[in-house]
Structure 1
Amino acid sequence: MPRRLISSGSTFEREIGYSRAVVDGEWIFVSGTTGFDYGKMTISDDLLEQAEQCFRNIQAALTEAGGNLEDIVRVTYILPDAGDFPKCWPIFRKYLGDVRPAAMMISAGLSDPRMRIEIQVTARRSSGS
């Protein structure tokens, strides 16, 4: 199966030179995904709405790649303020509580001060996807 590139249509992908996701065989690598609504290129000020939008964006990329949230095997959360991490747990549980992928949280600055969270995932399409 050839490598396939997935785009969300975000201006970031074109300007920086990357793909929202890359499909390589059964693996799907989803780039760090923020709370931007990529269709409108807008972002909420609210941390939890940004976290929700991250998962909507990730789900869209996985769907286009032939996968779904249940295929996620690894997730990395990046937050500028480590103190915000526990506030997001209910959102994380909502989307990945039954999946329980390997996880890591990093506290680091993001490229735009409006961004309060970025999420990167790796998924492996199962035979049920």
Structure 2
Amino acid sequence: MTRKLISSGSTFEQQIGYSRAVVAGDWVFVSGTTGFDYTTMTISDDVVEQAEQCLKNIEAALQEAGASLRDVVRVTYVLPDGAEFEACWPVLRKYFGEVRPAAMMISAGLADPRMKIEIEVTALRT
């Protein structure tokens, strides 16, 4: 089985020692992705804007892997404040409303207090 590592260019990948995504055969595993705009290394204070940026970052990784958001079969959302999750639903519906992957939301602390949401996905390339 072939294995391909995908980087977003985030400094975190080199500092911590991980890949934005790993392609293994037809599977694509996208690491937990936050709302940082990796071109500027900035992050919005707004959880909804962060959710949107997370999905843009994930979409870019999937495209590089030869997949798309339509191939996502599993998604995990992590928010430090679970009460903020509902505000993100319109953004999540925009990207996954027709795809409807299996999903889970966890309320837990994230590595940086500026991070309000982190999203991880698994996709099966078709």
Tell me the TM-score normalised to structure 2 length.
0.99
Q: 2:120 aligns to what?
A: 120
How many residues get paired?
Answer: 126
Q: 1:49 aligns to what?
A: 49
* Runs of 4 or more above 6 Å deviation: none
Structure 1: give runs of 5+ residues left out of the alignment: none
Q: 1:75 aligns to what?
A: 75
Please report how far the alpha carbon of residue 109 of structure 1 lies from its aligned counterpart in structure 2 after TM superposition.
Answer: 0.2
Please report how far the alpha carbon of residue 86 of structure 1 lies from its aligned counterpart in structure 2 after TM superposition.
Answer: 0.7
Q: Among the aligned pairs, what percent are the same residue? A: 73
Tell me how large the CA RMSD over aligned residues is: 0.5
Deviation string 1:14-64 (CA, Å, 9 cap, x unpaired) is 000000000000000000000000111110111111000000000000000
Question: Do structure 1's residue 65 and structure 2's residue 68 form an aligned pair?
Answer: no
Q: 1:102 aligns to what?
A: 102
SS at match of 1:32: strand
Structure 2: give runs of 5+ residues left out of the alignment: none
Tell me the TM-score normalised to structure 1 length.
0.97
Return the alpha-carbon distance in structure 2 between the equivalents of residues 82 and 68 of structure 1: 27
Return the alpha-carbon distance in structure 2 between the equivalents of residues 88 and 49 of structure 1: 9
Please report how far the alpha carbon of residue 106 of structure 1 lies from its aligned counterpart in structure 2 after TM superposition.
Answer: 0.2
